[in-house]
Amino acid sequence: MKVLVSDEFSPQGLEILQKAKGVEVDVKTGLSPDELRKIIGTYDALIIRSASKVTADVIEAATNLKVIGRAGVGVDNVDVPAASKKGIVVMNTPGGNSMAAAEHTIALMFSIARSVPQAAVTMWDKKWEKKRFMGMEVFGKTLGVIGIGNIGGIVADRGLGLKMKVIAFDPFITPEVAAQKGIEMVSLDELFARSDFITVHVPKTKETENIIDAKAISKMKDGVMIINCARGGIIDEKALADACRSGKVRAAAVDVFTKEPTTPDNPLLGIENIVCTPHLGAATSEAQENVAVEIAHQIVAYLTEGTVRNAVNVPSVDAQVLATLGPFLNLGQKMGGFFAQTCPFPLKELVIEYRGEVTAYNVAPISSAILVGVLKSHMDEQVNDVNAPFIAKERGITFKEVKVTETADFTSLVTLKAEAGGKSHVIAGTLFGKKEPRLVAVNEYLIEAIPTGNILLVDTLDKPGVIGNIGAALGKKEINIGDMQFGRDKKGGKSLCILHVDAIPTKDVLDELGRLPHVNSVKLVQL
């Protein structure tokens, strides 16, 4: 497996990669997107920081690439949708530099509260301007934190330690959980109105882009102070510059910018009450070593074990969970393939029901495996756990998961259901002995079949001689039956015969079987 490291990387991280069995490492830094595109085709993994730009063109040229690892939190420099569509896992290291970024936020808060950088500059010029730099204490002030994830949570904790009143906006944190940490959850508008200091700690998305703009600033206290150590573009740079010039915002501190490196025309530069630093949030020796070591371990684990950790575009599955879920993933893919090949109508919506002990796990990887099985049955292009949801969406296939903790006849049961035009198609599967996949129901028929190999589904009437006729017909064509299962709705009613055969029957053989007495239809499934 070949790994390309295209940005500056800690020696400790490189050592982990170099010692991994079967892993070959190249370090080539300072590559332009075009240069990266020209060489990426030979690599299985790519490790980057913030300098390398992994564009859609680069990903298109990455014919062997399986995983991209970002030594840091944000993945703004990676076209994640393009990677996902191609089946490439994108990982980051959300915790490795959290402390460094949080501490830099606190450092910038003190810097603007006490005008530390501006005062230092005057001292470098051998001036003594003590009266010019009247500061503000943070004690007793209200700190508004937008986003209390890894970094925002540390900032909030440090604010509480400084005896500040901490309020926060985060739609993914319940008030009860926040209250246990001493944080008051409020609406975004209330946070704007009450805060003396406002700091943002959210990723840049369509929802968070310019979350602080001129309209938001107009809702804030006069003399508010604003800090951004998260991502450029979360705060409208021109609006912030205008507010600092007018005095509406007393001071601001910005570590991240819409365009990096900054250009001379950036509106935030050169304003006395704005402190700017060149993206130093994670720039500590400890943080750089942490994220390098972390991403190196993640890449090695993925390439050698298939373990997924801290992925932004696929459910994370560590080795321990994978050992438990592995048989379910196999079952899911087999069931998906069986379902797609036997469904009598175009699939538009798939309902995946999990019942019993399996509901205790994160079932998202199983659902992805089911989609892989469904799509592989009808497609020649590469399909895997990463790109399956994207490909399904492109083809107008939606799916939903349902969990039912109560058990029936099996400790765990996975059921696939679809409906269209008054028709329905249902199959159910489980594990025997916690490892062996079995189909246990096909529509109204209860069966016990191994979902693998060449399978014939023969829809018949429950009449004497039917099975004998099928066996005789296959025997004449020298097609051996390896296994057979039989289910019926009632005595003398309808029945389903499932045959595992050693050879693939031709269309003529299938047609001949379909003409046998009491045979309604014959379907070949290949798994």
Mind telling me the catalytic residues? 231, 260, 279
How many residues are listed for the chain in this entry?
527
Q: Which tokens sit at 218?
A: 């107009």
Distance from C-alpha of 123 to C-alpha of 514, rounded to nearest angstrom? 95
Q: Which tokens sit at 370?
A: 């089911």
Distance from C-alpha of 328 to C-alpha of 263, rounded to nearest angstrom? 53
H or E stretch at 155 = helix 150-161
Distance from C-alpha of 123 to C-alpha of 116, rounded to nearest angstrom? 11
Report the b/e string of 243-252 with b at 16+ CB within 10 A: bbeeebbbbb
Rg (CA), the chain: 30
Of 410, 420, 502, 423, nearest to 456 by C-alpha is: 502
**Contact predicate 410/328, CB 8 Å:** no
**Strand 398-404 versus strand 274-276 pairing type:** unpaired
Beta-strand runs (E) in 180-332: 184-185, 197-200, 224-228, 249-254, 274-276
Distance from C-alpha of 371 to C-alpha of 359, rounded to nearest angstrom? 18
Q: Which tokens sit at 69?
A: 């690892």
CA 459, distance to chain mean position in Å, is 41
Alpha-carbon separation of residue 30 from 51, 124, 358 (angstroms): 8, 35, 47
Under DSSP, is residue 441 helix (H, G, I), strand (E, B) or coil? Answer: strand
Could you tell me which residues are beta bridge partners of residue 499? 456, 484
H or E stretch at 432 = strand 423-432
Under DSSP, is residue 33 helix (H, G, I), strand (E, B) or coil? Answer: helix
Q: Which tokens sit at 484?
A: 């057979």
Cis omega (within 30 of 0) on the bond before 261? Answer: yes
